[in-house]
């Protein structure tokens, strides 16, 4: 009663002198250890004042070393994607090709991102990327911004602000979060003119809505949903033809924007960028980290005139990408130019892996998990592209249903996420399933280690 409870807590200086804590300092740095110790002691002080008996010194150093270790692991640590979602937004969408990772490391120091080697003058940042996109899509010009949301915004604001843009009611999409097409259009400064119905819009609906104030006809790919049955809306090609006869622009937000057809992996095709260009749109935009399988970026391809106007707009500077993104995107595009995208781009490698090879991996994984003391059964699954592409079609896959006696599936999934590396399994029908289509080299071993550490 008479003793001050704070007296029972050690001084920070004394803790820092302990041999175990000195080892922590040697491994992780004085600043980081002191940072964790200060917040720990502050918490213990308030707890002591509230009447809690302070922990012993060994308990304090154990808690401290746990905190330091957790903080020493970067927030963006390695994760094993056993979810079966190939482009998992929560896990950073597409894993990058090895060539793109190497290019980012090379570019991380000083790099001539905007300097001409022959003259030393300022140069266009995305020059090589533009040349490759011209070859791959048949466009006249191309530019790159932060993501496809920014690309849509730049396209609308630079080309249509202050004027009317006609869109089908069936294409006023919400991509997720705050990205809703009507809101984006309002922000860009253009006036949205809706035509048609949710399920059907006719070319004449667009035609009748054209006024002297009209700047463009906009086509939006309904990436993450499909309208089936009595449904139909003119394609980008029909809109481009109408726009041409009326002296208007035709714009296309492709979303995923495929450079190669999805039929190669047995899925119905997502719209091809080259088809849109060929159909005569003035500009179309798509993501760098969806079906392209590269870094987060928004890519705009179109006519030289449209791209020139977009580059000259102040928003282009606000939305511009860093040298790391440019390096990774350039390296990714080289695989499409070389034709080795199926082997070299992780998304395409995972998607085109033969089912029997996935099954072999699942069988080996189940054996290793059983040996580690877990319950494991090989099960047929469906993997999904993710990121709003091919939303209602699964890719045949094989996984391992796993369980650890005494631990509920949700808790098992939580402990696997908290491990190093973090492992993300799928929870389905009350069971934890590790889908093998999204595992990459070394992932199965990491998964077995993670499960073993939960078993004991």
Ligand X SMILES: *Cc1c(COP(=O)(O)O)cnc(C)c1O
Closest distance of CB 255 from ligand X, Å: 2
Stretch of 45-53, 110-118, 144-152, 324-332 lying at the interface with ligand X (CB under 6 A): 144-152
149 near ligand X, judged by CB under 6 A: yes
168 near ligand X, judged by CB under 6 A: no
- Residue of 255, 271, 293, 294 that binds ligand X (CB under 6 A): 255
219 near ligand X, judged by CB under 6 A: no
- Residue of 99, 147, 157, 188 that binds ligand X (CB under 6 A): 147
Stretch of 39-47, 220-228, 235-243, 373-381 lying at the interface with ligand X (CB under 6 A): 220-228
223 near ligand X, judged by CB under 6 A: yes
Nearest to 290 by CA among 99, 148, 93, 137: 93
353 contact partners, CB below 8 Å, separation of at least 6: 437
Closest distance of CB 258 from ligand X, Å: 12
- Residue of 175, 215, 248, 368 that binds ligand X (CB under 6 A): 175
Stretch of 219-227, 308-316, 410-418, 431-439 lying at the interface with ligand X (CB under 6 A): 219-227
Stretch of 6-14, 146-154, 372-380, 442-450 lying at the interface with ligand X (CB under 6 A): 146-154
Stretch of 60-68, 143-151, 158-166, 352-360 lying at the interface with ligand X (CB under 6 A): 143-151
- Residue of 143, 152, 325, 381 that binds ligand X (CB under 6 A): 152
Q: Considering the complex, state which of residue 176 and residue 232 has its C-beta at the smaller distance from ligand X.
A: 176
Task: State how far the Cα of 346 lies from the Cα of 95, in Å rounded to an integer.
Answer: 6
Closest distance of CB 155 from ligand X, Å: 11
273 near ligand X, judged by CB under 6 A: no
Angle at 101 between CA 29 and CA 337, to 5 degrees: 170
Closest distance of CB 219 from ligand X, Å: 10
Residues 288-307 that bind ligand X (CB under 6 A): 298
Q: Considering the complex, state which of residue 253 and residue 443 has its C-beta at the smaller distance from ligand X.
A: 253
Closest distance of CB 109 from ligand X, Å: 28
- Residue of 141, 220, 365, 374 that binds ligand X (CB under 6 A): 220
253 near ligand X, judged by CB under 6 A: yes
Write the secondary structure of the chain as one string of H (helix), E (strand) and C (coil).
Answer: CCCCHHHHCCCHHHHHHCHHHHHHHHHHCHHHHHHHHHHHHHHHHHHHHCCCCCCCHHHHHHHHHHHHHHHHCCCCCCEEEECCECCCHHHCCCCCCHHHHHHHHHHCCCCCCCECCCCCCECCCCHHHHHHHHHHHCCCEEEEECCHHHHHHHHHHHHHCCCEEEEEHHHCCEEECCEEHHHHHHHHCCEEEEECCCCECCHHHHHHHCCCCEEEEEEECCCCCCCCCCCECCCHHHHHHHHHHCCCEEEEEEECCECCCHHHHCCCCCCEHHHHHHCCCCEEEEECCCCCCCCCCEEEEECHHHHHHHHHCHHHHHCCCCHHHHHHHHHHHHHHHHCCHHHHCHHHHHHHCCHHHHHHHHHHHHHHHHHCCCEEEEEEEEEECECCECCCCCEEEEEEEEEECCECHHHHHHHHHHCCCEEEEEEECCEEEEEHHHCCCCHHHHHHHHHHHHHC
Residues 378-397 that bind ligand X (CB under 6 A): 388
Q: Considering the complex, state which of residue 275 and residue 443 has its C-beta at the smaller distance from ligand X.
A: 275
Count of residues that interact with ligand X, criterion CB under 6 A: 16
94 near ligand X, judged by CB under 6 A: no
Residue of minimal Cβ distance to ligand X? 255
Q: Considering the complex, state which of residue 256 and residue 438 has its C-beta at the smaller distance from ligand X.
A: 256
Which residues of the chain form contacts with ligand X (CB under 6 A)?
Answer: 147-149, 152, 173, 175, 179, 220-221, 223, 253, 255-256, 287, 298, 388
């Amino acid at each position: 009663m008479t003793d001050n409870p704070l007296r029972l807590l050690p001084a920070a200086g004394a803790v820092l002198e302990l041999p175990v804590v000195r080892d922590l300092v040697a491994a992780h740095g004085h600043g980081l250890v002191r940072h964790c110790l200060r917040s720990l002691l502050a918490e213990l002080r308030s707890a002591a004042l509230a009447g809690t008996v302070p922990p012993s010194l060994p308990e304090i150093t154990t808690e401290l070393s746990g905190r330091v270790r957790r903080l020493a692991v970067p927030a963006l640590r390695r994760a094993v994607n056993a979810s079966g979602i190939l482009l998992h937004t929560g896990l950073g969408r597409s894993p990058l090709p090895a060539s793109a990772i190497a290019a980012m490391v090379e570019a991380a120091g000083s790099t001539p991102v905007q300097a001409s080697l022959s003259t030393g003058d300022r140069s266009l940042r995305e020059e090589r990327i533009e040349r490759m996109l011209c070859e791959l899509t048949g466009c006249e010009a191309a530019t790159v911004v932060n993501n496809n949301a920014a690309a849509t915004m730049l396209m609308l604001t630079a080309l249509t602000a202050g004027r009317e843009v006609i869109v089908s009611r069936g294409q006023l999409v919400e991509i997720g979060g705050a990205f809703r097409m009507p809101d984006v259009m309002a922000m860009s400064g253009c006036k949205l003119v809706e035509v048609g119905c949710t399920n059907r819009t006719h070319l004449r609906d667009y035609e009748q809505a054209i006024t002297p104030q009209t700047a463009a006809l906009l086509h939006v790919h309904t990436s993450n949903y499909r309208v089936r049955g009595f449904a139909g809306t003119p394609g980008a090609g029909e809109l481009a033809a109408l726009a041409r006869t009326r002296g208007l622009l035709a714009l296309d937000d492709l979303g995923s924007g495929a450079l190669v057809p999805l039929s190669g992996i047995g899925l119905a095709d997502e719209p091809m960028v080259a088809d849109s260009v060929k159909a005569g749109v003035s500009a179309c935009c798509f993501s760098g980290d969806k079906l392209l399988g590269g870094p987060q970026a928004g890519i705009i391809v179109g006519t030289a005139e449209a791209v020139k106007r977009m580059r000259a707009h102040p928003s282009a500077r606000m939305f511009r990408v860093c040298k790391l993104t440019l390096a990774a995107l350039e390296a990714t595009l080289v695989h499409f130019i070389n034709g080795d995208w199926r082997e070299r781009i992780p998304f395409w490698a995972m998607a085109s892996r033969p089912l029997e090879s996935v099954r072999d991996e699942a069988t080996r994984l189940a054996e290793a998990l059983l040996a580690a003391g877990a319950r494991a059964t090989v099960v047929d699954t469906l993997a999904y592209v993710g990121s709003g592409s091919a939303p209602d079609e699964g890719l045949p896959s094989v996984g391992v249903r796993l369980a650890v006696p005494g631990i509920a599936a949700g808790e098992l999934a939580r402990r696997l996420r908290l491990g190093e590396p973090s492992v993300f399994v799928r929870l389905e029908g009350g069971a934890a399933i590790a889908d093998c289509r999204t595992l990459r080299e070394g992932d199965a071993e990491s998964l077995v280690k993670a499960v073993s550490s939960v078993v004991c």
